[in-house]
């Protein structure tokens, strides 16, 4: 099997000052293309360490994708490191220099002398176009490895990977079809609780059950080669059954997106009034394109369920999140054309950060809406989400 690796560069990535979203995105893309990443590493902005990493990985990997370090500043060292590792010189690529000059001229700007550095690539390297930025990429052979150098800006990196790098890799190595991954996401049950039941299942030969925990949700993934898809789909209903009432959606589209799609498809407009979540619930749904007719964030109020139900009066469909009460419970109201549903929930998350608690409360509110849209009881308890009180108003 082809060995594909990634090397991320930059002190800001190495020291955790920014989150390496490029690595997660690349891993998912490569997996879907039948080119699963075999390893990844991160190196800071030191030339000798970059050179050593390139020389080491080029003895092991078939393909190495290097991300970052192609900018115009002194700490952008990927081109120099590549040339040094290969024992060649950097040379000015006149084609890319002209492209950069045109890029700046079209925007009425003068190109700084430091930008010329972005047109210097190692001798005999193949230039990779960047239609949305000033840093070209390039590809070169070093020892047994085909190395691709890419800019760190996510929009530039993703376009280069999709349009140029993946097609080149597939043309040379002709990988098998990408593996199948069946996914569902749960809310309210712990990983160990799910695993204790799932591990009793007999899975098809070559299939693997995986777990991804990202509080407050847990994603279950059944992964295997394309040729056993039918066998995987036969066991998948058992996975759904074990997930039970904690299953909140399937596939890769997150719950806010699925709620937005359903609301738009039905022509429903949602009103939101929230306290504990501080606007987080509205942000999740508006970011997903949900049709919101009203939204407000209120100060701490200890209201009766009836008073909560009277909020967002102009919206027939409304979600209301109250303030945390003295007994550490949080009240919710979902008002629908069929009536108002109230529940008071204790989440047992005192040891978690406020951010996690707010995310969990927002998910609880969205889950009430999901259940109602699917024709299920709007309120209900499961796992560590303890419903202390529930009623229809």
Q: What is the pLDDT of residue 384?
A: 82
* Phi, psi for 295 (deg, rounded to 5): -155, 140
- Scanning the chain, the segments in alpha helix (DSSP H) are 11-14, 21-32, 47-57, 78-86, 94-106, 154-160, 166-173, 191-198, 229-243, 255-266, 280-287, 305-309, 354-373
**Alpha-carbon span 292 to 270, nearest angstrom:** 5
Going from N- to C-terminal start, the domains of the chain cover: 4-173, 180-250, 255-392
Pairing mode of beta strands 270-274, 292-297? parallel
Euclidean distance between the first and the last CA atom of the chain, given in angstroms as a whole number: 61
Q: What is the pLDDT of residue 349?
A: 72
Q: Which two tokens stand for residue 55?
A: 């020389």
Q: What is the pLDDT of residue 268?
A: 96
**Alpha-carbon span 358 to 342, nearest angstrom:** 19
Quick one: which H or E segment has residue 223?
Answer: strand 217-224
Q: What is the pLDDT of residue 348?
A: 76
**Alpha-carbon span 31 to 241, nearest angstrom:** 27
What single-letter DSSP state applies at residue 143? Answer: T
Q: What is the pLDDT of residue 93?
A: 95
* Other C-beta atoms lying within 10 Å of the C-beta of residue 258: 18
Q: For the domain made up of 255-392, give the CATH fold.
A: Maf protein (3.90.950)
**Alpha-carbon span 303 to 314, nearest angstrom:** 20
**Alpha-carbon span 238 to 198, nearest angstrom:** 9
Exposure pattern of 350-372 as b/e (b: 16+ CB <10 Å)? Answer: eeeeeeebbbbbbbbbbbbbbbb
Pairing mode of beta strands 126-128, 137-142? antiparallel
> Helix (H, G, I), strand (E, B), or coil: what is residue 390?
strand
CATH of segment(s) 180-250: 3.30.70.2860
Q: What is the pLDDT of residue 359?
A: 95
* Other C-beta atoms lying within 10 Å of the C-beta of residue 339: 11
For 4-173, which CATH superfamily applies? MoaB/Mog-like domain (3.40.980.10)
> Helix (H, G, I), strand (E, B), or coil: what is residue 114?
helix
What predicted TM-score, i.e. pTM, was given to this entire model? 0.75
Task: From first to last of the 393 residues of the chain, give the pLDDT tens digit.
Answer: 899 999 999 999 999 999 999 999 999 999 889 899 999 999 999 999 999 999 999 999 999 999 999 999 999 999 999 999 999 999 999 999 999 999 999 999 999 999 999 999 999 999 999 999 999 999 999 999 999 999 999 999 999 999 999 999 999 998 888 889 999 999 998 899 999 999 999 999 999 999 999 889 999 999 999 899 999 999 999 999 999 999 999 998 999 999 999 999 999 999 999 999 999 999 999 999 999 999 999 988 888 999 999 988 889 999 999 999 988 899 999 999 999 999 999 987 777 888 999 999 999 999 999 999 999 999 876 778 889 999 998
């Amino acid at each position: 099997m082809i060995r594909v690796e990634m090397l991320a560069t930059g002190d800001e990535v190495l020291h955790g000052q920014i989150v390496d979203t490029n690595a997660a995105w690349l891993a998912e893309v490569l997996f879907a293309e039948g080119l699963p990443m075999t390893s990844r590493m991160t190196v800071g902005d030191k030339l000798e360490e970059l050179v050593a990493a390139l020389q080491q990985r080029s003895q092991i990997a078939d393909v190495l994708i290097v991300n970052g370090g192609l900018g115009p500043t002194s700490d952008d060292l990927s081109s120099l490191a590549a040339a040094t590792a290969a024992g060649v010189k950097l040379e000015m690529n006149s084609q890319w220099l002209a492209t950069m000059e045109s890029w700046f001229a079209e925007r009425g700007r003068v190109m700084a002398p430091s930008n010329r550095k972005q047109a210097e690539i190692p001798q005999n390297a193949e230039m990779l176009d960047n239609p949305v930025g000033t840093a070209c990429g390039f590809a070169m052979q070093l020892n047994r490895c085909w190395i691709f150098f890419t800019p760190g800006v996510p929009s530039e990196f993703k376009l280069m990977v999709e349009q140029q790098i993946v097609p080149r890799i597939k043309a040379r190595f002709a990988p098998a079809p990408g593996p199948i991954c069946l996914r569902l996401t749960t809310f309210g049950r712990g990983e160990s609780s799910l695993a204790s039941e799932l591990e009793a299942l007999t899975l098809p030969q070559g299939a693997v059950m995986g777990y991804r925990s990202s509080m407050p949700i847990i994603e279950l993934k059944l992964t295997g080669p394309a040729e056993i898809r039918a066998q995987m789909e036969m066991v998948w209903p058992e996975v759904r059954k074990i997930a039970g009432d904690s299953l909140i959606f399937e596939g890769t589209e997150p719950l806010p997106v699925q709620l937005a799609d359903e609301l738009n498809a039905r022509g429903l407009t949602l009103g939101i009034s929230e306290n504990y979540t501080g606007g987080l619930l509205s942000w999740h749904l508006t970011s997903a394109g949900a049709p919101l007719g009203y939204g407000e964030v209120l100060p701490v109020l200890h209201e009766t369920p009836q008073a909560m139900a009277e909020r967002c009066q102009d919206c027939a469909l409304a979600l209301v999140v109250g303030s945390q009460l003295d007994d550490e419970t949080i009240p919710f109201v979902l008002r629908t054309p069929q009536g108002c549903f109230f529940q008071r929930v204790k989440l047992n998350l005192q040891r978690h950060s406020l951010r996690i608690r707010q995310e969990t409360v927002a998910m609880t509110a969205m889950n009430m809406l999901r259940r109602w849209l699917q024709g299920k009881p709007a309120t209900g308890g499961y796992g560590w989400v303890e419903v202390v009180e529930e009623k229809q108003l």
